[in-house]
Amino acid sequence: MTALVRGRRDTQTWLVHLSHLGLPVTDTARSLRFYEAYFGFLPGTAQRYEDGTVIVRDTDGFDLALHQTQDLGTPQPFLHFGFRLSRPEDVRALLVRMEGDGIEIVERCDESALVSFKCVDPDGHRVETYWE
């Protein structure tokens, strides 16, 4: 996500990019495998920190911070994050692959202006893949 932001009193303007997401997980190794296999995070970039957090990066420089915990809390039905793909057929191909691998799909849409689906990661986080 890129946004143009104005500073105080409209004297400065700069670009703001969403650059990382922190997720609580129950098994960091399992989550790493999931995000590397389906969403292009690069195994060679994974770094483990003293508190147990593992941060892995994708080819766009986006950092996914996975923090191991025992209690994930109650998932909220609307809470999700997503990955935009450049072609509708890429979304469909990933959907077929995930279904073949037994990944739970909880929502899908295949229309002329939007092709998308939401799956559930190993910890129950909803992940959307879409093209529009």
CATH 3.30.720.120 assigned to domain 20-73? The reply is yes
Q: Provide the residue ranges of all domains of the chain, joining segments of one domain with +.
A: 20-73, 75-132
Task: Name the residue among 82, 83, 42, 43 with its Cα closest to residue 59.
Answer: 42
- Phi, psi (deg, nearest 5) at residue 93: -65, -40
CA–CA dist 132, 118 (Å, integer): 15
CATH 3.30.470.20 assigned to domain 75-132? The reply is no
pTM, whole model, 2 decimals? 0.86
CA–CA dist 19, 39 (Å, integer): 15
Q: What does the pLDDT look like over 72-105, one tens digit per residue?
A: 888 888 999 999 999 999 999 999 999 999 999 9
Calculate mean pLDDT across residues 15-44.
94
Q: Is the pLDDT of residue 67 over 60?
A: yes
For residue 8, the model assigns a pLDDT of: 58
Average pLDDT, the chain: 91
Q: Are 14 and 5 in contact (CB under 8 A)?
A: yes
For residue 3, the model assigns a pLDDT of: 55
- Phi, psi (deg, nearest 5) at residue 19: -125, -10
